[in-house]
């Protein structure tokens, strides 16, 4: 039995445009990857859920492209096989149809009838039958001539039929090499391979970042296959599916929580004493100078491990809030500040991942409810809150009646609102 590879190789020898389709698909894909290199972007490893979704979508497209390419290969092989069969059978069909008309047989019958008629005409038996037999044989000659004429016409028509069929086949074959033609299987295959190569590279780069993030957050390492592998697509699909299943189970170990962390209240045990995360004077100086203020939130997470942010917000405290006359409460609640916040730097796979600065334009006074200034985007999502944070408050405040300069005396404290997930320590 002829294998698919052998069958394609045989077609490539007889059909010029089919050359290239006889090569293994993995070889064609590796060549396409080498020709269509894409730039490797720096993807954020901590955006695990979003990156997993992107990788899954890219691999879905890759599987679709591969299926379309393999279907195209089958269609091309069918078209090439039909043409090869046509060209190989054409002489046989031509000769068989010519022979079927029996022109040589008819000519032989005519010659025999002429010979017999002549013989009967020259015979002198005296019985009078010679004349009758002569007429019979002469009739056979006439009939044979008519049959020969018909057969010769049929042969001409048969040749014309196969000439037309050959012309249409050659015109059809020309479409297989015409630029832009939907019959140009090579162009279509090249396009599919280019799209597949680009998406597969992007999926590989994003999956590498994804699994760096998984290793950093969860401590589990998944190994990606080599892109040059003959089974790269299937292997990558398998490892991503395995990673997704593992992540689904691992996430069940994490608890979600919200917290409001005051920076200047002395409620944290630091060095055996209750201290604030930021000294009040340091906060005042930073506001007065419009400078960056550094702080750490680590002491606020006692009893929690593997903490990852889901969102962060900012509000400010003011000791006058509870002392205001009821008539002045709307005035106080109308104050809005702007602030820039930078989450701690994240080190993943021996490289530093910088998160974009978060800009808040609606920082309000703390009232015991959720912060109006809230962000759950790339600036903080899934980042570890452990490390140095940086914040800078604008010296301008927005008031309901007028713009005015923010007084350092006005802000008594900063509150960091967080939403996060983490593992509660068994010893807590």
Digit-coded pLDDT (tens) for 295-352? 999 888 888 888 999 999 999 887 654 454 555 555 566 778 889 999 998 888 788 8
Q: Determine the average pLDDT of the residues in 8-27.
A: 91
Tokens 């010659």, residue located: 111
In whole angstroms, give the CA distance from residue 313 to residue 337: 13
Contact at 8 Å (CB) between 13 and 21? Answer: no
Percentage of the chain beyond pLDDT 70 is 90
Name the band, by pLDDT with cuts 50, 70 and 90, for residue 403.
low
Instruction: Say what the pLDDT of residue 410 is.
Output: 74
Q: Determine the average pLDDT of the residues in 43-65.
A: 95
In whole angstroms, give the CA distance from residue 63 to residue 200: 10
Contact at 8 Å (CB) between 36 and 197? Answer: yes
Does the pLDDT at position 85 exceed 90? yes
**pLDDT single digits (tens) 246-261:** 999 998 999 999 999 9
Instruction: Say what the pLDDT of residue 400 is.
Output: 58
In whole angstroms, give the CA distance from residue 400 to residue 411: 18
DSSP for residue 322: G
Instruction: Say what the pLDDT of residue 104 is.
Output: 81
Contact at 8 Å (CB) between 358 and 341? Answer: yes
Q: How do beta strands 304-317 and 358-365 pair?
A: parallel
Instruction: Say what the pLDDT of residue 289 is.
Output: 86
Q: Determine the average pLDDT of the residues in 39-59.
A: 93
Query: Coil, strand, or helix at residue 50?
Result: helix
Q: Determine the average pLDDT of the residues in 352-381.
A: 88
- Residue 12: partners with Cβ closer than 8 Å, 6 or more residues away: 18, 19, 20, 21, 22
Q: How do beta strands 255-262 and 413-424 pair?
A: antiparallel
Q: Determine the average pLDDT of the residues in 74-97.
A: 93
Instruction: Say what the pLDDT of residue 321 is.
Output: 47
Q: What is the architecture of the domain spanning 1-253?
A: Orthogonal Bundle (1.10)
* Domain locations along the chain: 1-253, 255-424
Instruction: Say what the pLDDT of residue 362 is.
Output: 87
Counting DSSP H helices and E strands in the chain, the numbers are 9, 13
Q: State phi, psi for 226 to the nearest 5 degrees.
A: -75, 140
The dihedral through the CA atoms of 221, 227, 229, 234 has a sign that is positive
In whole angstroms, give the CA distance from residue 105 to residue 263: 114
In whole angstroms, give the CA distance from residue 325 to residue 317: 17
The kind and range of the H/E element at 394 are strand 388-398
Contact at 8 Å (CB) between 183 and 176? Answer: yes
Q: Determine the average pLDDT of the residues in 120-137.
A: 68
Instruction: Say what the pLDDT of residue 92 is.
Output: 92
Q: Residue 170: how many CB atoms within 10 A of its CB?
A: 11
197 closest CA partner among 62, 69, 74: 62
Instruction: Say what the pLDDT of residue 406 is.
Output: 59
Does the pLDDT at position 184 exceed 60? yes
Instruction: Say what the pLDDT of residue 115 is.
Output: 75
The kind and range of the H/E element at 415 are strand 413-424
**pLDDT single digits (tens) 213-256:** 999 888 899 999 999 888 999 999 999 999 999 999 998 999 99
Tokens 């957050």, residue located: 217
In whole angstroms, give the CA distance from residue 23 to residue 25: 6
Instruction: Say what the pLDDT of residue 365 is.
Output: 84
DSSP for residue 254: -
Instruction: Say what the pLDDT of residue 126 is.
Output: 57
Instruction: Say what the pLDDT of residue 54 is.
Output: 97
Percentage of the chain beyond pLDDT 90 is 54
Q: How do beta strands 403-405 and 268-270 pair?
A: unpaired
The kind and range of the H/E element at 204 are helix 185-218
In whole angstroms, give the CA distance from residue 391 to residue 341: 4
- Alpha carbon 30 to chain centroid, angstroms: 17
Residue-averaged pLDDT of the chain: 87
**pLDDT single digits (tens) 99-121:** 888 878 878 877 777 877 777 77
Instruction: Say what the pLDDT of residue 59 is.
Output: 97
Residue 335 in tokens = 């104050």
């Amino acid at each position: 039995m002829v294998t698919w590879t052998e069958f394609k190789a045989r077609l490539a020898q007889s059909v010029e445009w089919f050359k290239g389709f006889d090569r293994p698909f993995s070889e064609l894909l590796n060549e396409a990857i080498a020709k269509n290199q894409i730039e490797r972007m720096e993807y954020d490893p901590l955006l695990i859920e979003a990156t997993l979704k992107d990788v899954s979508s890219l691999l879905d497209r890759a599987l679709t492209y591969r299926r379309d390419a393999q279907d195209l290969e089958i269609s091309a092989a069918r078209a090439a096989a039909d043409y090869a069969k046509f060209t190989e059978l054409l002489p046989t069909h031509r000769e068989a149809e010519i022979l079927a008309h029996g022109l040589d047989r008819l000519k032989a019958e005519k010659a025999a009838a002429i010979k017999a008629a002549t013989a009967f005409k020259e015979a002198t038996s005296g019985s009078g039958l010679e004349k009758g037999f002569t007429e019979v044989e002469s009739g056979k000659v006439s009939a044979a001539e008519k049959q020969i004429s018909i057969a010769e016409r049929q042969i001409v028509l048969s040749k014309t039929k196969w000439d037309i069929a050959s012309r249409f086949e050659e015109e059809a074959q020309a479409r297989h090499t015409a630029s832009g033609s939907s019959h140009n299987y090579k162009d279509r295959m090249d396009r599919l391979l280019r799209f597949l190569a680009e998406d597969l590279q992007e999926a590989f780069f994003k999956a590498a970042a994804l699994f760096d993030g998984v290793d950093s957050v969860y401590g589990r390492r998944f190994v990606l296959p080599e892109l040059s592998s003959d089974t790269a697509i299937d292997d990558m699909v398998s490892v991503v599916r395995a990673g997704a299943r593992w992540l689904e189970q691992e996430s069940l170990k994490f608890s979600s929580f919200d917290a409001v962390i005051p920076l200047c209240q002395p409620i944290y045990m630091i060095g055996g004493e209750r201290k604030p995360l930021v000294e009040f004077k340091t906060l005042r100086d930073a506001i007065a100078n419009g400078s960056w203020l550094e702080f750490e939130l680590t002491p606020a997470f006692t009893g929690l491990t593997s903490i990852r942010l889901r969102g962060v917000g900012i509000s400010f405290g003011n000791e006058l809030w509870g002392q205001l006359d009821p008539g002045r409460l709307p005035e106080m609640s109308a104050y809005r500040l702007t602030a820039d916040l930078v989450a701690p730097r994240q080190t993943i796979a021996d490289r530093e991942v910088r998160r974009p600065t978060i800009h808040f334009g609606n920082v309000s006074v703390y009232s015991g409810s959720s912060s109006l200034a809230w962000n759950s985007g790339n600036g903080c999502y899934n980042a570890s809150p452990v490390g140095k944070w940086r914040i800078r408050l604008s010296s301008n405040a927005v008031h309901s009646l007028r713009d005015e300069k923010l007084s350092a005396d006005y802000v008594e404290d900063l509150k960091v609102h967080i939403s996060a997930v983490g593992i509660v320590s068994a010893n807590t």
